[in-house]
Amino acid sequence: MEQERKINHNNIVECKNVSKTFITPEGEHPVVQNLDLEARENEFLVLFGPGQCGKTTIINMIAGFEKATAGSMKFMGKEITKPDSSRGVVFQSTALFPWMTTMGNVEYGLKMAGVPKAERQKRAQKYIDLVGLSGFEKSFPVQLSGGMRQRVGIARAYCNEPKLMLMDEPFGALDAQTRYLMQEELQRIWEAEKRTVIFVTNNIEEALYLADRILVLTNCPATVKREYKIDLPRPRNLVSPEFLALRKEITSILDSTL
Ligand SMILES: Nc1ncnc2c1ncn2[C@@H]1O[C@H](COP(=O)(O)OP(=O)(O)OP(=O)(O)O)[C@@H](O)[C@H]1O
């Protein structure tokens, strides 16, 4: 019993037998089916699956934007019913307020929560520095590159100090070079500011570079096909024999679900 309580305490997210079916003009569209998922404290969990398999729907349900059709979804032991600032979200194209500076965007959540100006700017500055945007506090989104805008989105999400970060293909819209750079940066940020992260990608290198654990999903409707615990030392070497062997194995598992 004691053992069970300990394990439960460490599970930040617990999804049991979750299904989601959208009702469309063409009929019922099952997108997630009997999904079991757990994310543990400070873990970097990657959901890896083919395009359109239901990854965003899973993130939206954990965030509280969508309701599951069946099953149980818990965050820190409580059923998820609505969005909450203790769960931060970063999307592929982060919607920043175009009329606000980097500082304005990053401190926005704290401002809404009524945190006094000096305190919220101090906290925002910490996260602006952490994502490598020192000197760009007064820049507007239009003056920043795509990678820099994603950094602002990450700083904004971190600034609310959420217990859980949900990242839905946050680097999917970036060019390959910037994407590599951002993966390295995120790995560094996560080491400095340990949080539970659930990160969605359909890029196997990204998954292997970042994950403590990878859940390989089936094609739509999504469920967990296979789980991989990734014990490779960090930062990971993308061309080590172990990395390449895992890359080959996981890619073949993914392909077998198509
Ligand atoms: N609100 C909705 N109503 C109806 N169908 C939906 C809705 N949201 C998503 N879908 C469908 O669910 C399926 C899975 O979509 P979802 O965006 O969750 O997948 P994904 O794996 O995140 O896709 P991608 O790899 O393109 O980001 C798609 O067929 C999509 O059209």
For ligand 1, atom 3, the nearest C-alpha belongs to: 22
For ligand 1, atom 17, the nearest C-alpha belongs to: 56
**Residue 31, ligand 1, Cβ within 6 A:** yes
Q: Which atom of ligand 1 is nearest to the CA of 24?
A: 4
For ligand 1, atom 4, the nearest C-alpha belongs to: 22
Mean pLDDT value across residues 212-239:
94
**Residue 67, ligand 1, Cβ within 6 A:** no
Q: How many CB atoms lie within 10 A of CB 157?
A: 25
**Residue 93, ligand 1, Cβ within 6 A:** no
When pLDDT is cut at 50, 70 and 90, the band that residue 225 belongs to is: very high
Span from the CA of 72 to the centroid of ligand 1 (angstroms): 20
Reduce the DSSP state of residue 84 to 3 states and report it: coil
**Residue 52, ligand 1, Cβ within 6 A:** yes
C-alpha closest to that of 198 among 222, 226, 166: 166
- Chain centre to alpha carbon of residue 142: 25
**Residue 233, ligand 1, Cβ within 6 A:** no
Span from the CA of 39 to the centroid of ligand 1 (angstroms): 22
Span from the CA of 79 to the centroid of ligand 1 (angstroms): 23
Residue 9 has a pLDDT of 52
How far does the chain reach from its first CA to its final CA, in angstroms?
41
**Residue 54, ligand 1, Cβ within 6 A:** yes
For ligand 1, atom 18, the nearest C-alpha belongs to: 54
When pLDDT is cut at 50, 70 and 90, the band that residue 6 belongs to is: very low
Residue 51 has a pLDDT of 87
Span from the CA of 56 to the centroid of ligand 1 (angstroms): 7
Span from the CA of 240 to the centroid of ligand 1 (angstroms): 35
When pLDDT is cut at 50, 70 and 90, the band that residue 178 belongs to is: confident
233 pLDDT more than 50: yes
Q: Which atom of ligand 1 is nearest to the CA of 202?
A: 25
How high is the mean pLDDT of the chain? 91
pTM: 0.91
Mean pLDDT value across residues 130-144:
94
- Partnered with residue 197 across adjacent β-strands are 44, 165
For ligand 1, atom 20, the nearest C-alpha belongs to: 52
Q: Which atom of ligand 1 is nearest to the CA of 29?
A: 5
5 pLDDT more than 50: no
| Cα angle 112, 115, 119; round to 5 | 135
224 Cβ neighbours under 8 A, 6+ residues apart: 35, 36, 37, 215, 216, 217, 218
Q: Could you report the predicted ipTM of this complex, rounded to two decimals?
A: 0.96
Q: Can you list the domains of the chain with their CATH numbers? A: 1-86+199-258 (3.40.50.300)
Peptide bond into 221 cis (omega under 30): yes
Residue 8 has a pLDDT of 43
Instruction: Please give the Cα distance from 40 to 210 (Å, whole number).
Output: 15
**Residue 216, ligand 1, Cβ within 6 A:** no
When pLDDT is cut at 50, 70 and 90, the band that residue 94 belongs to is: confident
Give pLDDT tens digits for 10-62. Answer: 789 999 999 999 999 999 999 999 999 999 999 999 999 988 899 999 999 99
